[in-house]
Structure formats: C-alpha cells, structure tokens
Amino acid sequence: MLDSITTSPISPPTEGSGRRVALLTLGCARNEVDSEELAARLAGDGWSITTDGEDADVVLVNTCGFVEKAKRDSIETLLAASSTGAKVVAAGCMAERYGKELAESLPEADAVLGFDDYPSIAATLDKVLQGEKFTSHTPRDRRELLPLTPVARQASGASVPGHATLLNDSATPAHLRGVLRHRLDSSPVASLKLASGCDRRCSFCAIPAFRGAFVSRTPDELLAEAEWLAGTGVRELVLVSENSTSYGKDLGDPRALEKLLPQLAAIAGIVRVRVSYLQPAETRPGLVETIATTPGIAAYFDLSFQHSSEAVLRRMRRFGSTDRFLELLASARAFAPQLGARSNFIVGFPGETAADVKELERFLTEARLDAVGVFDYSDEDGTEAAGMDRKVGARTIKGRYEKLLSLSEELCAQRAEERLGSTVDVLVDTIGDGVEGRAEHQAPEVDGSTTLVTGDDGVDLGALHPGDLVRARVVGTNGVDLVAVPVEMLSAAANGR
C-alpha cells in the first residue's frame, strides 16, 4: 500500500549499520530537496536509506500542509505507515505547522518533528527506535526567527531546511564545505532550492507563517551544489523556492538571479536550467529577457497569477489584472515565441462574482498557456481570507471549478496542437515500454510529457538513454502531451555511453 502513495521513485537502500529508514515525501519539489538533506544527515550517521516503506525500522514522512487535500494525503500516508509495524515519524510542513496538535490527534505517530529538529534527525530517530517518547513543539510564526530587514538575515543562524552544508562555516568557500544532500533517485532531473520562505502577505496563504521569512542561498552555495548534482548524472536543474523572483534581495542584489542563471547553464553536464515559482508583480524585464534568451535556460515561465480579475487580486493582497498579465506574457513571447507558460488559479475566493469569473475566462482564452492548475477555494487556518465576508457557496464554487477546469483542459490541448509540425528539444526521462521525455515547455510532474516514436529519419530509439537531449519533430498530441519523432541527438548523457 505504501508504494502506491510514495512520491519519490524507489531506490535501493544505502549501506548502513542495519538501521533502515524509509523516507516518504509528499507535496512540492521543495519538500523533495528537504528530504534529500534529511537523507544525507541520516546516511552520515549510518542509517540505511530507502524510499520503500516496507521492511523499514522507521518510516519518516515528510508531510505537506499547504491545502486541505494535501493534509489529508499526509494523514493517510502516516496511517498507512503505522500499519507496517515500523516506528512512524512525521516531519515537514504539516508537522511544523501543527506540532502538538497533530501529535495529540495522531497517536499512531511516534514523533512529530519541526524544522528545528532537522539538524539532530539521526539522533532523534535513534531514540525513537529505542522507544523514547517525544513532546512535540508548539507552533510559532517562523517569520519571527529572522530579522525584519532582508539584508540582515544571512547571519541569523536560524534553521532553514534545504540550506545546510556539511561544514556550516561561511568563511570557508562553498565548494570546500561539502554538499549536505543524498539523492533518493537516479533521475536526470533534480530540484535546486534557491531560497526558502516568503515575505508576501497573500490573504489565502499560510506558508510564510510556517516556512518563515524569505532567505536566499548564496550563489556560491548554489553553484557548488549544482556541480555536485551534475556529477551524479543530473542533466536538468529545476530552481525552486516559494518566490524565485525575490532571489537576492537579502543579498543586496535584486539582479542576482539574472546573473546566476548563465553560470548554472555553463556547468559541465547540465543541458537545461528551469526556473519555477515566478511572482508576476516582481518579474522584471531583465529577468524575462534572461530566461527567454540565454542558451541552456528553458524559455519557460511558471507564473503565479492565481486570478486575473483586479478586484479579486486586491482581496488576495496581490497585484495585476488581465491586461497586465497578457502584457507580461507578450513581452516574453517577443523574445521567444514558442516559450512555455503555466500558472495556477483559485476559483471561488471570497467576494468573487460571476463577472470576475468571466474576466478569468477571458484571460485564459487569450493567454495561450501550456499548462493550468485550477484549485477550488477553501479556508485555511490562520489566513486573512478565512475571516473574510462575502463567502462563495460550496455549490457555486464546485460549478465554477468544473467549468474553469474544463475550459483550461480544452485551451491547453489546443496550445499543444499548435506545436504540431514544430521541433522541440526533449530531455529523455525514462526508458520502459516506451521512451518518455519532456520538451522545454514541460516541467517535471505538472506539465505533461513527450513520447518519442520511431520515424523514417532520425535517431534510433533503442540507442537512447535517460538524460539524452534530442531534437524531435512533433507528430501528434494527446491533451497536453506530445508525440514526437527524434531527428537529432543534441547531447548524449555521459552515463549512457
């Protein structure tokens, strides 16, 4: 049962002392990076690491606490883990967000750990295995752990998941500190965490309260980790954070991301760098041009629009409008007409009217997005929106959600059909019953994929390996997915030859 809900691919256990921990990761790519930090800490103390929940001494679940469905998935995973007879430990966002409350309502968990417990995770799991009981933390607003002024945050010393190195000494060059990360799969794609936390105050979002204020990782740390990932066979880097467009503001350089991207793309072995989680209000013209025109950087814009009605956006404590968002997309397409663009939207937000929904429909129709996520609004603990008036009824929300979802699927399928006959650069992900990969406009997990098939000319499918980058001609579509014939090898993965 656990295998069906494990989000990380199964990998064999590492060598260890016989203590075996299964790391199950739920939620976003940022959580996946945090899990690989936890795995490194545990492996360094002699634990055998696996992502298979069977036959483990301890099952460590890195939970998600973003929305109600994610919280339910986390609870179900913890309950399923308890049925194996292993010790069960909850970590991650849900554990940090609810602490004692989660521990009291879920006695099946032997421990509920917060982010401050990560540095001592190996010793903690040893104690759990020995039957010791733990009193979980009382949650607090983690924004209070960092200075209010962004540029003062680098020296704060607060525990921030995904930011640690083997030697936490800022005086030592990053490439000499060692990377505190243990890969949990052999995929040619890996996430690289730019930063953690968020300084925005979106009225629907609780993430800043339990993830903390925004803090960047330094460029030298990121370059060192990127080189390490390339050495493990990674070919595509996906840059993740809560808000990538804020990167560098606490380093005193608002153009830090524009400068970093070409350096990442120049790392030997890396053929594609993808930026995710862009905030439209902070997406500067220089960053648009860098993403759209730099060789090795995917011309891909993951823009967090959330809605397009100006009235709804104001109640969300966000900025923009249909026309401003269309202008932003047009400015990017002026550099790269075939770029990829995706976004997420919330329907049924308090105060949303039928006219607001029509405005969102207008935006979706004109935006020509490659992938769209639609979420039905629900109150989140501790958010401003939970206390707002003019709530939209559940039946109305359901109807709007289904309508917008259907429209989005139709529009994204049409966008995929526009690519028929064009060429796309495909990174091969898996070789199995067929050859699957992703074009430049397709991010891992969320944006569809490209199936490579044999054609009259071009590359032999049997010679392909995960990590190969090939140019392919699009010959078919299935919703957002493409079917393409590889016509040229652009870059062969070193470990495939």
Q: Which of 386, 448, 452 is nearest to 412 (CA)?
A: 448
DSSP string for 133-172: --PPPPP--GGGGS-SSGGG-TTS----TT--BSS--TTS
Place of tokens 């079917």: 483
Q: Among the residues of 294-430, which ranges form H helices?
A: 310-315, 322-333, 354-367, 394-417
- Beta strands per DSSP E along 46-149: 48-50, 58-63, 87-91, 111-112
Question: 54 by DSSP, 3-state: which?
Answer: coil
Residue 26 Cα to chain centre, angstroms: 11
- Exposed (0-12), middle (13-18) or buried (19+): which is 346, by Cβ within 10 Å? buried
DSSP 8-state class, residue 249: G
Is 412 a known ligand-binding residue? no
Answer yes or no: are the C-beta atoms of 74 and 61 closer than 8 Å: yes
Question: 366 by DSSP, 3-state: which?
Answer: helix
Residue 320, φ and ψ in degrees, nearest 5: 130, -175
Q: Which of 400, 403, 360, 356 is nearest to 377 (CA)?
A: 400
Q: Which of 181, 60, 161, 79 is nearest to 116 (CA)?
A: 161
Answer yes or no: are the C-beta atoms of 291 and 275 closer than 8 Å: yes
Is 205 a known ligand-binding residue? yes
Residue 184, φ and ψ in degrees, nearest 5: -100, 0
Place of tokens 């794609």: 189
Answer yes or no: are the C-beta atoms of 309 and 360 closer than 8 Å: yes
Largest CA distance in the chain: 65
**311 residue type, one letter:** A
Element (H, E) at 484: strand 481-491
Place of tokens 């060192």: 224
Residue 16, φ and ψ in degrees, nearest 5: -160, -165
Q: What's the rounded Cα separation, in Å, for the pair 345 and 329?
A: 16
Residue 154 Cα to chain centre, angstroms: 23
Annotated binding site: 28, 64, 93, 198, 202, 205
Annotated binding site for [4Fe-4S] cluster: 28, 64, 93, 198, 202, 205
